[in-house]
């Protein structure tokens, strides 16, 4: 639990930290050293900061807190995926996943405790949204999953997807700060090109991404290119219609020149017909894009099932024949409820 009256030191940027150090009559370079320990070296306590005097470390420990995220438990899938429950400083728990593949190591991280969007096919959507994650809590998930990758597979993380629990664009400031710290030379120094933020489709926030010059990849969880169908499974579509999304994506592409990825879960007898593919192909004309067709991963709350393999293949072939780059994504970690749409904290103890 957080200690009362202690300042969360990772909520301060470097200039703010330097101001705090000046108030303690400490030189500015000391603040820079501490900042380096926090974000480049991922220090989890002041004791680790070996180039600071013992007195300064003690003073910092008395006044400031590093609200570290801990791994509460981990599950290992038959396909080598690792799902972890991360305990936050206030006792809340979120889930994150390491997805190892031959050519990459991907971390799937959460941005909120629960979610407010109530998508009908997603386990997280059946949880209440308790709060947003702080930037350092997102950063810590990346650090811990990177450590898992090195320990278990002798390889560092190569990619990060903001596709865990929560809607990243409804935690905009903290998500953007976390990406800044993950990509900064005085942070984890990862490439923007290796980061993908997935949204259920918040039109005005997609435009804000454009205005803020977002350099990372954007993925839109589409799942239907028909307003009636999308309303049925994603209530967010009622305030963010396909037309509104198309307008925001055009604005986004005009400003950033970044193509968009559409995530499309193919549900049996719902959105798996060629007519649905035709609607999707039309939507794809708005901006340069690619499509990921995703297997549905069953959850206990919903009656959806995965489309038949031949239907998915026919759907994919139609899109490819229209000149649309299309991939069929096979699910990973199904046996431990770690696959897309399955993240939900069952136990908090």
Sign of CA dihedral 221, 225, 231, 237: positive
284 catalytic per annotation: no
- Pairwise CA distance, residues 40 & 56, whole Å: 20
Query: Which of 159, 65, 66, 176 is CA-nearest to residue 111?
Result: 176
- Crossing angle of helices 309-321 and 274-283, in 10° steps, is 40
* Angle 17-22-24 from CA coordinates, rounded to 5°: 100
Following CA atoms 82, 88, 91, 95 in sequence, which dihedral angle do they give, to the nearest 10 degrees? Answer: -30
Q: From the candidates 115, 119, 122, 340, which is the catalytic residue? A: 340
- Pairwise CA distance, residues 67 & 51, whole Å: 21
Q: From the candidates 26, 95, 137, 295, which is the catalytic residue? A: 95
Q: The tokens of 124 are what?
A: 């997280």
- Pairwise CA distance, residues 257 & 287, whole Å: 9
95 catalytic per annotation: yes
**Which residues are the active-site residues?**
95, 340
């Amino acid at each position: 639990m957080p200690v009362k009256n202690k300042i969360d030191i990772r909520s301060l940027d470097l200039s703010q930290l330097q101001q705090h150090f000046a108030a303690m009559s400490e030189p500015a370079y000391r603040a820079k050293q501490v900042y380096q320990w926090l974000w480049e070296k991922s220090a989890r306590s002041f004791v680790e900061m070996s180039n600071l005097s013992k007195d300064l470390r003690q003073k910092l420990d008395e006044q400031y807190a590093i609200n570290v995220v801990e791994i509460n438990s981990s599950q290992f899938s038959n396909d080598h995926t690792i799902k972890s429950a991360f305990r936050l400083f206030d006792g809340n728990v979120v889930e994150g996943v390491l997805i190892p593949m031959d050519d990459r190591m991907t971390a799937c991280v959460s941005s909120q405790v629960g979610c407010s969007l109530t998508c009908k096919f997603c386990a997280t959507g059946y949880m209440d949204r308790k709060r947003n994650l702080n930037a350092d809590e997102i950063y810590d998930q990346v650090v811990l999953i990177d450590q898992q990758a090195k320990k278990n597979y002798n390889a560092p993380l190569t990619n990060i997807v903001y596709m865990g629990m929560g809607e990243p664009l409804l935690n905009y400031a903290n998500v953007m700060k976390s990406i800044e710290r993950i990509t900064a030379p005085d942070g984890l120094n990862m490439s923007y090109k290796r980061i993908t933020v997935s949204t259920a489709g918040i039109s005005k926030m997609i435009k804000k991404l454009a205005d803020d010059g977002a350099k990372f990849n954007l993925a839109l969880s589409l799942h239907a290119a028909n307003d009636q169908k999308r309303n049925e499974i994603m209530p967010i579509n009622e305030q963010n219609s396909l037309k509104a999304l198309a307008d925001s994506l055009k604005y986004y592409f005009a400003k950033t020149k970044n193509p968009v990825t559409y995530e499309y879960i193919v549900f049996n007898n719902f959105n798996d017909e060629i007519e649905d593919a035709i609607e999707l192909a039309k939507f794809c004309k708005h901006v340069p894009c690619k499509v990921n067709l995703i297997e549905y991963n069953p959850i206990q709350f919903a009656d959806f099932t995965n489309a038949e393999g031949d239907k998915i293949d026919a759907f994919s072939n139609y899109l490819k024949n229209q000149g649309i780059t299309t991939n069929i994504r096979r699910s990973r970690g199904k046996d431990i409820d770690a696959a897309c749409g399955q993240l939900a904290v069952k136990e908090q103890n």
